[in-house]
């Protein structure tokens, strides 16, 4: 509808509503995780809208993402949840960005510069990603004290790796992770560390920590699920629709093949539509001969392989004209989570992959 070949429509008020539902349920501070361009929804627009609604805690993955937010007027805490290269450390100070301390070596490196970095120490309570292992509480305490003395210690955190699973074994594991986190915090209570955080979207709804006073909210804020089978105690709604158009339609005769590799062969007379989006727009190629789009509310199956910039769908029996709108993802019966399930991935990846080539329109 005059929006070009493929575009996303993001309802910022839905993101705010999701945030608020979660916040009310959490009963503590909630940091908005807007890494990866706000999970593909547009970090600047999303963060500005959240800030207008009183949000003052933001998390990103890279220094570039952090600077983009600062330069667009985002105030309050911006925390980088990952690694920042040595040669960019100066920018942390210049832009007043908070940095995760990923290891003892990294802490020492920051301290050696003699500069007052704001830091959140990452504890590894069992995920085996970044962070200091928590086998030895004395060791953890020693590093935290060292940072407290030489840097600006703004937070200590950990990340849970199975909080979206409801099996007994995984619940036990999550409780163990939280217990380790709390045990470390017990040792450093005298420091009055402002932010102690161990909860992501899922865990904030299902678990309790004695010390955690802030939840890091990502996927649920966008209205998608950490796990498609998870039942939530709050109402959320997807914020993003991804659309494209039919550029032309054509008849295909029995026996003809469609697209690269001739992977689809027409068994009868059919009519197809060409959609103006492809894997360079982030439309996953694994959807080839498997996924579908919605046109005027009706399913049209993908026929043949998804190309870089286009793909073909079966519109036999559907009244379709060039210029008609196609829903690649909607907010009801074919969300990013539904698409993800078809190709064995998660909604997170589907929305993160929507490329820069796809303009975002904000409602
Ligand atoms: C991405 C991320 C989050 C957000 O996780 P969701 O499942 O999207 O809520 C929280 N904490 C850390 C450390 C992360 O990397």
Measured from CB, residues less than 6 Å from any atom of ligand 1 are 33, 35, 81, 159, 200-201, 216-219, 226
pTM: 0.97
**Quick one: 6 exposed, middle or buried, by C-beta within 10 A (0-12, 13-18, 19+)?**
buried
SS3 (DSSP) at 351: helix
Which pLDDT belongs to residue 243? 98
Q: Indicate which atom in ligand 1 lies nearest the CA of residue 157.
A: 13
Q: Catalytic annotation on 35? A: yes
**Quick one: 190 exposed, middle or buried, by C-beta within 10 A (0-12, 13-18, 19+)?**
exposed
Distance between Cα 153 and ligand 1 center (Å): 21
Using an 8 Å Cβ cutoff, are 278 and 287 in contact? no
Cα–Cα distance, 261 to 259 (Å, whole number): 6
**Quick one: 319 exposed, middle or buried, by C-beta within 10 A (0-12, 13-18, 19+)?**
exposed
User: Residues near 90 by Cβ (< 8 Å), separated by ≥ 6?
Assistant: none
Q: Which own/partner pairs from 104-112 qualify as long-range (CB within 8 Å, at least 24 positions apart)?
A: 104/132, 104/143, 107/143, 107/146, 107/147, 107/151, 110/147, 110/151, 111/146, 111/147, 111/150, 111/151
Q: What are phi and psi of 231, to 5 degrees?
A: -100, 130
Q: Catalytic annotation on 208? A: no
The full 3-state SS of 240-258, as one line of letters, equals: EEEEEEEEEEEEECCCCEE
Cα–Cα distance, 306 to 340 (Å, whole number): 16
One of 19, 35, 292, 360 is an active-site residue; which one?
35
The neighbour count for residue 123, using CB atoms within 10 Å, is 25
Cα–Cα distance, 64 to 61 (Å, whole number): 9
Which pLDDT belongs to residue 3? 77
The neighbour count for residue 268, using CB atoms within 10 Å, is 9
**Quick one: 79 exposed, middle or buried, by C-beta within 10 A (0-12, 13-18, 19+)?**
buried
Distance between Cα 130 and ligand 1 center (Å): 13
Cα–Cα distance, 41 to 347 (Å, whole number): 13
SS3 (DSSP) at 297: coil
CA dihedral 246, 335, 39, 160 (to 10 degrees): -160
| pLDDT tens, the chain, 363 aa long | 467 999 999 999 999 999 999 999 999 999 999 999 999 999 999 999 999 999 999 999 999 999 999 999 999 999 999 999 999 999 999 999 999 999 999 999 999 999 999 999 999 999 999 999 999 999 999 999 999 999 999 999 999 999 999 999 999 999 999 999 999 999 999 999 999 999 999 999 999 999 999 999 999 999 999 999 999 999 999 999 999 999 999 999 999 999 999 999 999 999 999 999 999 999 999 999 999 999 999 999 999 999 999 999 999 999 999 999 999 999 999 999 999 999 999 999 999 999 999 999 999
Best residue among 18, 81, 206, 225 to mutate for probing ligand 1, ranked by most atoms within 8 Å of CB? 81
Which pLDDT belongs to residue 298? 98
Best residue among 18, 19, 57, 59 to mutate for probing ligand 1, ranked by most atoms within 8 Å of CB? 59
**C-alpha closest to that of 226 among 56, 33, 11:** 33
Q: Indicate which atom in ligand 1 lies nearest the CA of residue 200.
A: 9
Sign of the Cα pseudo-torsion (299, 305, 310, 315, in order):
negative
Using an 8 Å Cβ cutoff, are 41 and 360 in contact? yes
Cα–Cα distance, 260 to 246 (Å, whole number): 19
User: Residues near 145 by Cβ (< 8 Å), separated by ≥ 6?
Assistant: 188, 191
Distance between Cα 33 and ligand 1 center (Å): 7
Q: What is the DSSP string of 202-218?
A: HHHHH---SS--EEEE-
At how many degrees (to 10) do helices 43-52 and 63-71 cross? 50
């Amino acid at each position: 509808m005059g929006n070009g070949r493929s575009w996303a429509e993001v309802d910022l008020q839905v993101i705010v509503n999701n945030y608020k539902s979660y916040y009310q349920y959490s009963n503590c501070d909630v940091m908005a995780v807007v890494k990866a361009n706000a999970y593909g929804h547009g970090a600047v627009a999303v963060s500005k809208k959240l800030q207008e609604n009183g949000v003052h805690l933001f998390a990103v993955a890279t220094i570039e993402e952090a600077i983009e937010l600062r330069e667009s007027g985002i105030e309050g805490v911006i925390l980088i949840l990952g690694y920042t290269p040595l040669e960019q450390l100066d920018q942390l100070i210049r832009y007043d960005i908070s940095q995760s301390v990923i290891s003892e070596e990294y802490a020492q490196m920051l301290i050696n510069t003699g500069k007052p970095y704001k830091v959140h120490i990452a504890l590894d309570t069992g995920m085996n990603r970044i962070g200091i292992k928590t086998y030895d509480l004395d060791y953890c305490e020693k590093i935290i004290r060292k940072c407290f003395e030489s840097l600006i210690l703004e937070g200590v955190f950990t990340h849970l790796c199975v909080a979206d699973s409801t099996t007994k074994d995984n619940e036990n594991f999550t409780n163990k992770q939280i217990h380790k986190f709390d045990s470390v915090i017990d040792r450093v209570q005298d420091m009055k560390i402002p932010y102690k955080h161990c909860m992501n979207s899922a865990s904030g709804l299902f678990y309790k920590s004695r010390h955690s006073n802030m939840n890091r909210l990502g996927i649920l804020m966008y209205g998608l699920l950490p796990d498609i089978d998870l039942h939530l105690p709050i109402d959320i709604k997807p914020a993003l629709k991804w659309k494209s158009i039919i550029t032309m339609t054509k008849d295909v005769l029995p026996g003809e093949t469609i697209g690269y590799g001739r992977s689809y062969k027409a068994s009868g007379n059919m009519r197809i539509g060409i959609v103006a989006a492809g894997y360079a727009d982030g439309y996953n190629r694994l959807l080839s001969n498997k996924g579908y789009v919605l046109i005027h509310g009706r399913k049209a199956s993908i026929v043949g392989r998804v190309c870089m910039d286009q793909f073909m769908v079966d519109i036999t029996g559907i009244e379709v004209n060039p210029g008609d709108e196609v829903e690649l993802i909607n907010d009801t019966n074919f969300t990013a989570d539904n698409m993800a399930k078809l190709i064995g991935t998660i909604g997170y990846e589907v929305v993160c992959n929507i490329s820069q080539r796809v303009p975002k329109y904000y409602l």
